[in-house]
Chains A and B, each alone.
Chain A
Amino acid sequence: MTATTPDQSAAPATSALRCEGLSKSFGDLQAVKNVSFHIERGETYGLLGPNGAGKTTTISMVCGVLARDEGEVLVDGQSMSSGSVDVKSLIGYVPQDLAIYPDLTASENMRFFARLYGLSRNDANSRIDEVLDTIGLSDRAGDLVKTYSGGMKRRLNIGLGMLHRPKLLILDEPTVGVDPQSRNAILENVDQLSGEGMAVLYTTHYMEEAERLCDRVGIIDEGELKAEGTRRELVSLVGEHDRIQIEGAGDLEAGVAAVRDLPAVREASVAGQVISLIVNEARNTLPELLSTITGTGVQVRSIDVAEPDLEAVFLHLTGKALRD
């Protein structure tokens, strides 16, 4: 293990998680190549990448399940290794594949893991009730898990990871195979937890989830972290621009002529009742844009802003689509 000193300028030393130069090979296959990122408290960080990108492998090294070939993992400033018991208690982990005991009830599953994490009996009982409520399984808590539906099992799988109030919650594609309703509930749970100050590491190959949930996203492919940043940072990386469509009435040509001179506007055209614009940073330009257009007497009926999404970013970075 090579201990690299954390780069103090990039983030405070006590980031919830700092990974430096993580690498892992399976035989000839280099599954993870020199991956570095950090997550602050209360921040939700997404690892977005297609099947086989190395997400689970990265996470396994972060959790200490898998020995890393190279690199360093600091959780709350402490180095992680398979033997570091104290560090491990800071982490909550939701494996990609269900990791629950089907021949126990949800309560029994929870009580077992509460004991592993050293929760006192009282604390465990109240915490179990709390989590069961959060994941919406209070009614079925006494039933054997093997009688649950797939989505219910998924929710329990997630609940077990947050039981001991970890500082860092790691979820590995928790919504795969879950109906839209349960998926929504899960995403809301995660959102709520990060609102409570928990740092979250979330892997997914669903662009929508990463966009909706994550403060920052790392795009990973073939074991390499291709780029990372906020959604906007990533999108601007692509060099693509927002498309705005304004439906209006009045002298649309005059309106277009007026906005064409604004510095953020790249392109402007009219087709029927619709003005189409290509702009830099629609969010920032939109107020000025609208006031300029309405200033020419055009009545605006609807506005449609289409930002390039992470899908486009992924395409740009890797030359292939995120999903097959």
Chain B
Amino acid sequence: MLRVAVAIAMKDLRQRLRDRSAIILALVVPFALTFIFSQSLSDVTGGEVTFDYAIADLDGGSASQGFIGALRELEQEDVVSLRIATTREQAINLAGEGDVQASFVIPADFSEAVATNEAVMIEVFGNADAPIGTTVAESMAERFLQEVRAVQASIATAAGNLAEPDFDALATRAAEFPNPITVEDVSASRKELDANTFYAAGMAVFFLFFTVQFGVTGLLEERRDGTMRRLLVAPAPRSAILLGKLLTGFVLGVVSTAILAVLSTFLLDADWGSGVGVGILIVAGVIAAVSITALVASFANSVEQAGSALGIIALVFGALGGSFFPVSQAGGFIQQVSLITPHSWFLRGLSELQSGGEVVDIWPSVLALLVFTAVTAAIASRRLGKAVQA
């Protein structure tokens, strides 16, 4: 049984290696795309993602200076680049026209409101095309306001009915208070944005769904080419033939993804994280991809039919799952939907590893991928029994 499966897989792999289009699809195209994406992105950002913000400080008091000071600190870290707007309108326009990703407007009575214990707010205007930058800006403002409210509360208790608020002291305290916005905070929400790794992994998992096809569609090819008759006459159970094809897909998937990981690490400075974790993720991702393509192929009557069906699945899953843009940052509905794709789980696991996570941190992802495998394999195995025929 295993001997036959291995013989079939080795024969298939030999055929696939001879077929340039398989190699191009599995390795050349994904690597080239990763390279192009990473180049075009680093042209704009100098290799790092920087958020462009504008701020209109209509208050000019010490409390608003606390916020600007915090942003200036981030500017030092190249996380933020800050432009100063003089009016609310100018700030809104800068964001609206895409000169910046988002604008902060600190209202005129901000410092006074802090001091008099009234409700405080900072307006954030985002550019519609920069949802991530806007989200980050909102969370920065929200973080700062939370700290301010905490300070307000403590002042109210400590100073009772202080007639003349000491703005300087307040600003100092606001600044001293566990730093309202730290680089770590922001980079936590940026952790999937290491561009090169993101695109390398995104492309790798996207093309994985094309690569593993070369396994199971081999069944249809053998039927088309008449060689299935010979396989069926050979002393081998049908399940061995099927297993051989799945094995082909598995090997192709693991090898091509591993090569892409290594290439992008050395040539594009991507950082996939711990080797063991990446290995586990790749294997789990590949078997999920193999079972899903097997299920799709089991509904097809011809190689061409299977090819186009699998192409559509790969595209839809790729787009939803975050192969092209970081869906996990989009929030809301899209993010929920992305959970039905193995891609999102694979990328999620990888981002855990990249941000220093250990193998234990990727178990949710691995488990999700195994669930995809179990469900699709269960259905596919029933159907594919019939596919192994002349």
* Contact surface of B with A, Cβ cutoff 8 Å: 3-4, 7-8, 11, 14-15, 18-19, 225-227, 229-238, 389-390
State A63–B231 Cα separation when bound (angstroms).
11
**Chain B residue at smallest Cβ distance from A63:** B233
Within 8 A of B (CB), among A92-110: 93, 95, 97-104, 108
Contacts A/B (CB < 8 Å), 27 sampled: A63-B229, A63-B232, A65-B390, A85-B235, A88-B233, A88-B234, A88-B235, A89-B235, A91-B233, A93-B230, A93-B233, A95-B226, A95-B229, A95-B230, A97-B226, A99-B225, A100-B227, A101-B11, A101-B15, A103-B18, A108-B11, A112-B7, A112-B11, A113-B234, A116-B4, A116-B231, A117-B235
Chain B CB within 10 Å, residue with most, of A89, A116, A118 = A116
For A90, the closest partner residue in chain B by CB is B235
Using Cβ atoms and an 8 Å threshold, which residues of chain A touch B15? 101, 103-104
Set of chain B residues within 8 Å of A118, measured between Cβ atoms: 3, 235
* Residues in chain B near residue A63, CB distance under 8 A: 229, 232-233
A86 within 8 A of B: yes
CB of B85, distance to nearest CB on chain A (Å): 65
Main secondary structure of the interface of B (DSSP, over half): helix
Interface flags for A78-90 (1: CB within 8 Å of B; 0: not) read: 0000110110110
Cα of A116 to Cα of B15 in the assembled complex, Å = 17
Contact of A116 with B229 in the complex, beta carbons under 8 Å: no
A103 CB → nearest B CB, Å: 5
A152 to chain B, nearest CB (A): 17
Contacts of A64 in B (CB 8 A): 232-233
Shortest distance between the CB of B390 and any CB in chain A (Å): 5
Minimum distance in angstroms from B77 CB to a CB of chain A? 55
Q: In the docked arrangement, what's the CA distance between A103 and B236, Å?
A: 23
Counting contact residues on chain A (CB < 8 A from B), the size range is 20 to 34
Contacts A65-B390, A88-B235, A116-B4 given: A99-B229 contact, CB under 8 Å? yes
* Interface residues in chain A, defined as those with a beta carbon under 8 Å from any beta carbon in chain B: 60, 63-66, 82-83, 85-86, 88-89, 91, 93, 95, 97-104, 108, 112-113, 115-118, 160
Cβ of A117: which chain B residues have Cβ within 8 Å of it? 234-235
Nearest to B229 among chain A residues (CB) is A95
CB B237 to nearest CB in A, in angstroms, measures 6
Closest CB in chain A relative to B383 CB, distance in Å: 18
B227 near A116 with CB under 8 A, answer no
* Interchain residue pairs A-B with the least CB separation, the first 4: A89-B235, A115-B7, A88-B235, A93-B233
Is B11's CB under 8 angstroms from A104's CB?
yes
Taking a contact as CB atoms under 8 Å apart, the answer to whether A65 and B229 are in contact is yes
Interface core residue of B227, B231, B232, B390 (most chain A CB under 10 Å): B227
Residue of B nearest to A102 (CB): B225
A91 to B230, CA, bound (A): 11
- How far is the CB of B220 from the nearest CB of chain A, in Å? 15
